[in-house]
């Protein structure tokens, strides 16, 4: 219950910030263009807080925090006195109306740059993207990718850390090839490898993009010594203790942690004889893993312990931190990568290269908000930047109920030299609303299936 409330709280804070940024973009440009703003609202429905500013605008915080709006003086909506018609949105020049509408998404992009600027000023702990394993006969192996290589760029995109690698690789869904530059472990020589993606099958719901290509990141060695025990877990019930080193299970010697994981998962509610070394002595313990049912319906065993993991080598650790001026460039570069990736994903969603089942809704966003907030300010800011970019791009889609739809009508007006008729606009709003509701329904359905 606490986790749900934490996720909800982080989600509402994130949503409130991003809605305020988006609507402020519309508000600020509208005021600069001489349009009178009647109401600036964060949320819909009944107001829980209101204040009328000296500028005559009513500032409102409403009960339903799933959006916001800026209500401008407009003759198409209300009667406007003759002396105030010059302040009405509909009477402004085409370029002014276009600027006001485009300002919302633009504000989201600017916010993303600002958020990443703060992130890079504070610094982001990361590790170099070094390959640990390459599966035989995989796409990576056929391209000549080898363990120990450090990935430098993917199709021209710099990849300083694993987050950049994942983003760049995901952007290649539906493509025919991927060009990777990397440095070899022994010689330090930079090489270029081309991955043939014609047979690539990747499902983001069930696997990681790296693994689907046949690569696994380098990770420090996972030992067989116990470093954590869960209260009331099967391991404690079996009298396991911290620093016990597992050497055998049911008489079979083990030398890798994955062997322990496989044995436990495959024996729910079944006794296992686990030999451990404790204080130099070999002791046989009886471990009966508890059972847990996965979303897929599979029942697995779990024991409630975790191994000791060796520390990362100092040469692999990096801190992505820059000075005030350099951070601006890095933040803009990161935001541009997100923009291009999101546009690619939207395009591939339309063409069918990305499945509709990969759409995420508010529940997934809430989980992401809670998780990143739990990790700290830097990660929460990065999450806000990601969602802000997505919000900006979604609003630019050419659906009449969105900013992109209004811009589409303005583009038609620029060509025909007359506004799109209200009847055509009304039909467009109805169709656009239906499409948007359908997409939201699919996203919510996907969220519930992931619970």
Contact 401, 322 (CB under 8 A): no
Q: Note if 413 is an active site residue.
A: no
Q: How far apart (Å, rounded) are the C-alpha atoms in residues 324 and 343?
A: 29
Which of 26, 78, 18, 6 is closest to 43 using CA atoms? Answer: 18
Rounded CA-CA distance 437/444 in Å is 10
Burial class for 431, CB neighbours closer than 10 Å (0-12, 13-18, 19+): middle
DSSP state of 267: -
CA 300 to chain centre: 29
d(CA 406, CA 399) in angstroms, rounded, equals 8
Q: How many Å separate Cα 249 from the centre of its chain?
A: 40
H or E segment and range at residue 158: strand 157-158
> Token digits for 203?
């499902």
429 contacts: CB under 8 Å, gap ≥ 6: 400, 401, 405
Cβ burial of 154 (10 Å; 0-12, 13-18, 19+) is: buried
Cα separation, 275 vs 252, whole angstroms = 9
Torsion angle, alpha carbons of 40, 44, 47, 49, to 10: -50
Integer angstrom CA distances of residue 127 from 43, 163, 307, 311? 40, 10, 21, 12
State the catalytic residue, choosing from 23, 75, 269, 293. Answer: 23
**Structure-token match 């018609």, residue found:** 85
User: How many whole angstroms separate alpha carbon 282 and alpha carbon 279?
Assistant: 8
The alpha helices in 83-186, defined as continuous H runs, are: 94-122, 139-143, 162-170
Residue 259 token pair: 């062997």
Is the Cβ–Cβ distance between 38 and 73 less than 8 Å?
yes
Angle formed at CA 448 by CA 444 and CA 450, multiple of 5 degrees: 115
DSSP state of 220: P
What are the catalytic residues? 23
């Amino acid at each position: 219950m606490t986790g749900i409330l934490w996720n909800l709280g982080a989600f509402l804070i994130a949503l409130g910030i991003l809605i305020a940024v988006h609507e402020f973009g519309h508000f600020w440009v509208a005021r600069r263009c001489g349009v009178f703003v009647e109401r600036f609202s964060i949320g819909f429905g009944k107001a829980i807080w209101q204040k009328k500013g000296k500028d005559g605008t009513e500032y409102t915080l409403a009960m339903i925090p799933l959006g916001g709006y800026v209500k401008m003086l407009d003759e198409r909506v209300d009667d406007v006195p003759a002396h105030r018609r010059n302040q009405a949105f509909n009477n402004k020049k085409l370029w002014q109306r276009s600027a006001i509408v485009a300002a919302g998404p633009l504000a989201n992009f600017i916010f993303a740059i600002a958020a990443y600027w703060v992130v890079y000023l504070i610094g982001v702990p990361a590790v170099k993207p070094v390959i640990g394993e390459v599966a035989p006969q995989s796409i990576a192996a056929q391209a000549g990718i080898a363990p120990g290589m450090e990935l430098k760029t993917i199709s021209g995109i710099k990849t300083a850390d694993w987050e950049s690698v994942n983003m760049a690789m995901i952007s290649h869904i539906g493509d025919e090839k991927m060009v990777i530059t990397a440095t070899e472990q022994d010689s330090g020589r930079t090489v270029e490898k081309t991955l043939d993606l014609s047979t690539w099958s990747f499902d983001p719901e069930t696997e990681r993009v790296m693994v689907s290509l046949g690569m696994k990141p380098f990770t420090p060695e996972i030992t067989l010594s116990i470093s954590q025990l869960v209260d009331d877990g099967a391991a404690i019930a079996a009298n396991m203790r911290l620093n016990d080193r597992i050497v055998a299970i049911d008489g079979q010697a083990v030398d890798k942690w994955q062997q322990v994981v496989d044995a436990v998962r495959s024996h729910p509610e079944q006794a296992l004889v686990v030999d451990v070394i404790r204080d130099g002595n070999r002791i046989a313990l009886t471990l009966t893993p508890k059972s847990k049912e996965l979303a897929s319906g599979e029942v697995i065993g779990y024991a409630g312990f975790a191994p000791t993991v060796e520390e990362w080598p100092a040469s692999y650790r990096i801190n992505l931190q820059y000075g005030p001026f350099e951070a601006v460039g890095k933040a803009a570069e990161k935001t541009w990568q997100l923009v291009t990736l999101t546009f690619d994903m939207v395009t591939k969603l339309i063409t069918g290269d990305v499945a509709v089942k990969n759409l995420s809704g508010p529940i997934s966003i809430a989980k992401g908000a809670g998780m990143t907030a739990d990790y700290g300010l830097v990660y929460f800011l990065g999450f806000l930047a990601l969602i802000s970019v997505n919000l900006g791009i979604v609003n630019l889609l050419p659906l009449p109920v969105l900013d992109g739809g209004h811009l589409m009508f303005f583009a038609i007006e620029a060509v025909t030299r007359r506004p799109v008729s209200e009847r055509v606009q009304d039909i467009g709003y109805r169709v656009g609303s239906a499409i948007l509701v359908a997409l939201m329904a699919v996203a919510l359905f996907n969220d519930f299936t992931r619970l």
